[in-house]
Amino acid sequence: MAVETELKLHISPDKLQRLKRHPLLRTHSIERARTLKLYSIYYDTPKLTLQRHAMALRLRRVGKQWLQTLKGGGQSSAGLHQRNEWEMPVPAEQLDLEAFKLSGGKLPHGVRNHLQPVFVTDFTRNVRLLDFEGAQIELSMDSGEIRAGQGMCPISELELELKSGAPQQLFKLALKLLDIVPLEVEHTSKAAYGYRLFSASKPAVSKGKFAALQPSQDISSALKALIASCLSHIQSNVGGALLKLDDEYLHQVRVGLRRLRVVLSVTKRVYPGTELDDLYRQVSELCIALGRSRDWDVFVTQTLAPICARLPEHEGLRALLGTCERMRNKQHAGMESSLASQDFQRLLLRFGAWMHADSADSSQPSIEKFVRKILEKRSKQVLATGNTLSIENTKQFHALRIACKKLRYSLEMFGSLLPQNKYKAYLNKLTVLQDILGTMNDIAVAHRLLDELDNAARHDTLALVRGWMEHDYAEHITLFNKKWAGFVAQAKCW
């Protein structure tokens, strides 16, 4: 068994040709480029058992030689794919499953008698071996297509596979390539695209969750695992957000970025430095930009639309809704521009390079002590803000909401290390409280957005909307007082 470590990058076909001719590749090449014709048949059961087990099984023809490959396990982080791989030659276009068993590759129980072809990949690969800052990296330029039934998906990508050296060098090389041509970090494998094509499905919305941690884990690996889970959450939803497949994709991108910002705020205490500070700053700017988009989303869909539904004949409300939808679309366009930019791709690659740098520190305290310190500080911030709250002061409610959000994300970050019954009970009460504060903040933000829209022609309509919101706000104040008392009275879970 080998462990395959590679970074995948999407590139447009015209830029692929431009990159092939660039002198950077000649400078670092240590052997002549080779061109291969690769034809692969992927197998699975009718119920796609292998896909459910995160495995891929293929037969690949390279020239006149057939190879069979089984991939499974591993992980993907910031575009870096690391997987267990069992590969061996076979005499013909036929699987030899016994050979996998002899080499340690194991298929799920009951699969072997139900395997069938599900899709094929057919592409040309231009391969060259590079020596980049002491690492040997195989650069593959792939151009072709994936086919399943009558469906087809184009292939145009780069694969940087580490042959020797540190994974960080893959990201450093990718950043050099990004200076030459536009690139996108590819979160999805060819096999995953093939399965999507075979089942005629769109990419699933990823709700994402923090990586499960172990008490024996050092702080460095724990924090990097948490960052990796946030990046994976973000990347798996960006494509759907840009394609406008569903509003939930964009919402999950926002959630992933907010979680990432909280993880980074903790990580900066352990690894102070200009690179991490700059990454944190850029993530914070993205959060602010996407937050403005969310404000208009919530105002249009959760505040204004229900009022319009109650008063469908009100012309002023219909006109106001149309204006707000145009403002919302403008914010979405700005968001899409940010997520589709090369600056965003550079941010992802810089994260990958930072995460795979050598940063071990034997002087770190135990993770249990570290977690208790973080949670204790977050909890004190919540209690201090909530106990001095003035009901009329919306800024104080906003500060309490932020403190609750930081505590909640910190709890979710380290929840796998806490007593589960106590953790879930504590988190449930905190979540209810945060949701109430979130609705109150949405109402406060809606008042600010109405101020931006105010003019003499709309004055009566805006006053009507404000009346609905003030009634809703008063109800949530009452609910907050009740839930706050219950939250304060509970025992800590750490």
Contacting residues for 13 by C-beta, under 8 A, at least 6 apart:
143, 154, 156
Q: Give the integer Cα–Cα distance in Å for 273 and 284.
A: 17
Counting Cα atoms < 13 Å in the Cβ hemisphere of 227 gives 26
Take residue 281 and report the two structure tokens written for it. Answer: 């700053």
Domain end among 341, 363, 385: 363
CB 201 within 8 A of CB 164: no
Output phi, psi for 29, to 5 deg: -70, 140
Domain end among 201, 222, 252: 201
pTM to 2 decimal places: 0.90
Q: Give the integer Cα–Cα distance in Å for 440 and 444.
A: 6
Domain count for the chain: 3
From the number of C-beta atoms within 10 Å of its C-beta (0-12, 13-18, 19+), residue 349 rates as buried
**Same-domain status, 374 and 267:** no
**Same-domain status, 285 and 191:** no
Tokens 């995953």 map to which residue?
192
Over residues 277-308, the pLDDT tens digits come to: 999 999 999 999 999 999 999 999 999 999 99
**Same-domain status, 294 and 384:** no
Which residue segment(s) compose the domain that 230 sits in? 207-363
Q: Give the integer Cα–Cα distance in Å for 198 and 163.
A: 32
In the chain, which stretches have pLDDT less than 50? Answer: none
**Same-domain status, 18 and 163:** yes
**Same-domain status, 211 and 170:** no
Please give the distance of CA 238 from its chain centroid, rounded to a whole number: 7
**Same-domain status, 296 and 192:** no
SS3 string of 433-480? HHHHHHHHHHHHHHHHHHHHHCCHHHHHHHHHHHHHHHHHHHHHHHHH
Domain end among 316, 335, 363: 363
Q: Quote the pLDDT of residue 360.
A: 56
Give the closest residue to 342 by CA, choosing from 9, 106, 6.
9
Tokens 């969750």 map to which residue?
209
Q: Quote the pLDDT of residue 78.
A: 62
Q: Which is it for strands 135-148 and 2-10: parallel, antiparallel or unpaired? A: unpaired
Q: Quote the pLDDT of residue 106.
A: 87
**Same-domain status, 62 and 116:** yes
- The dihedral through the CA atoms of 146, 9, 210, 406 has a sign that is negative
- The enclosing domain of 101 has a CATH number of 2.40.320.10
Q: Give the integer Cα–Cα distance in Å for 45 and 37.
A: 27
Q: Quote the pLDDT of residue 80.
A: 78
The three-class DSSP label of residue 98 is: helix
Q: Quote the pLDDT of residue 74.
A: 63
**Same-domain status, 245 and 356:** yes
Over residues 110-139, the pLDDT tens digits come to: 898 999 999 999 999 999 999 999 999 999
CB 444 within 8 A of CB 293: no
Q: Give the integer Cα–Cα distance in Å for 108 and 113.
A: 11
Contacting residues for 301 by C-beta, under 8 A, at least 6 apart:
none
**Same-domain status, 389 and 292:** no
- The enclosing domain of 432 has a CATH number of 1.40.20.10
Q: Quote the pLDDT of residue 1.
A: 59
Q: Quote the pLDDT of residue 144.
A: 98
H or E stretch covering 94: none
